[in-house]
Amino acid sequence: MEELDLHLMSNSRPELFDFEGISMIHYFTDNWKNIQNFQARPDDILIATYPKAGTTWVSFIMDLLYFGNIEPERQTTLPIYMRVPFIEGAFPGLPPGAEQADKLPTTPRLIKTHLPVQLVPKSFWEQNCRVVYVARNAKDNAVSYFHFDRMNMAQPDPGDWNNFFNLFMNGKTVFGPWYDHVSGYWERKMTYSNIHYMFFEDIVEDTGREVDRLCTFLGLSTSAEERERIAKSVHFDAMKKNKMTNYSTVPVMDFKISPFMRKGKVGDWKNHFTVAQNETFDEHYKQKMKNTTLQFRTEI
Ligand code: A3P
């Protein structure tokens, strides 16, 4: 496996800039032409999320559903980010995500994106690909993103919690406003039926049930025994210990600041939001989400 180029990445954090109306960093726009021209195949499956909504969790579930039995060596040799390439990623020292996705030898190809719905390469829609979208309530999503930006030198510096709290509400986080992201895919689902919309909170509440629903969407007839085994393998504690899923192999992440598999809980926002912040956030949220039927749970 090629190594990320530490020298290029660890010295300075990337700057945020406006790209097609979305706050972005160059790691996700450098390869833009190839991303937009990506040729999807009808059986490709796109795993789309706002960052920190449970991408890795659902990626691992899907990898196990499709390849857990037929390629057992994969489980000890291939980190999840190699199995499920990040299509817009263009990190120094690694092949660009679009190229990795293009060369995936598997069928189906599982491909990850954080792009808002309007920036997803057209061919995924044209080929009527399945899209699995995972959404997480805004408060926990914000907290998780804050800790991620603290520890990941390839992300902009989040400043302190209060600073990041404001950035999040104003959509000045990488991949733009959470509000538009989650509601964009939700609205798309009304006209494009091949989207399965999942909630992080539901997976925490009952992983087995969510794996069942996912199998129904994917048209997989996995045995109950197998699904139970998968639910166990993707438990937070198991994934935190598993080097193939815990991102410990990525040098730009400083686990001394915060681990990738941090808490995996619903409601951790209560340990971060002050009473005043919570009031401000709720008021702003009501405005931002007033035109959507999408509902989240901030506790279970
Ligand atoms: P926290 O920071 O709240 O712990 P992504 O993969 O989209 O980057 O999301 C990462 C978030 O999902 C982190 O949230 C991580 O702990 C959580 N997560 C990943 N796997 C999980 C699992 N098996 N169970 C619960 N949470 C999980």
* pLDDT band of 11, cuts 50, 70, 90: low
Distance of CA 53 from the midpoint of ligand 1 (Å): 7
pLDDT at residue 249, rounded to an integer: 87
Mean pLDDT in residue range 209-227: 96
Residue 114 appears among annotated catalytic residues? yes
CA-based R_g, the chain, Å? 18
Distance of CA 49 from the midpoint of ligand 1 (Å): 12
pLDDT at residue 73, rounded to an integer: 83
Mean pLDDT in residue range 187-198: 98
Distance of CA 260 from the midpoint of ligand 1 (Å): 7
Name the active-site residue from 26, 114, 272, 284.
Answer: 114
Whether the CB of 49 sits within 6 Å of ligand 1: yes
The model's pLDDT over 172-185, given as tens digits with 9 standing for 90+, comes to 999 999 999 999 99
pLDDT at residue 2, rounded to an integer: 46
pLDDT at residue 9, rounded to an integer: 58
pLDDT at residue 8, rounded to an integer: 52
Whether the CB of 262 sits within 6 Å of ligand 1: yes
Please enumerate, as own/partner, the contacts of 97-103 that have beta carbons within 8 Å and a separation of 24 or more: 97/31, 97/35, 98/31, 98/34, 98/35, 98/38, 99/34, 101/38, 102/38, 102/39
Extents of the domains making up the chain? 6-288
pLDDT at residue 207, rounded to an integer: 97
pLDDT exceeds cutoff 50 at 1: no
Whether the CB of 263 sits within 6 Å of ligand 1: yes
Atom of ligand 1 nearest to the CA of 239: 23
Please give the mean pLDDT across all residues of the chain.
95
Mean pLDDT in residue range 199-224: 97
Whether the CB of 261 sits within 6 Å of ligand 1: yes
Whether the CB of 236 sits within 6 Å of ligand 1: yes
* pLDDT band of 6, cuts 50, 70, 90: low
Which architecture, in CATH terms, is 6-288? 3-Layer(aba) Sandwich (3.40)
Mean pLDDT in residue range 90-102: 96
Whether the CB of 57 sits within 6 Å of ligand 1: yes
The model's pLDDT over 255-270, given as tens digits with 9 standing for 90+, comes to 999 999 999 999 999 9
The model's pLDDT over 128-177, given as tens digits with 9 standing for 90+, comes to 999 999 999 999 999 999 999 999 999 999 999 999 999 999 999 999 99
**Poorest-pLDDT segment among 11-15, 41-45, 210-214:** 11-15
The model's pLDDT over 28-78, given as tens digits with 9 standing for 90+, comes to 999 999 999 999 999 999 999 999 999 999 999 999 999 998 777 889 999
Closest protein CA for atom 22 of ligand 1? 236
Closest protein CA for atom 27 of ligand 1? 264
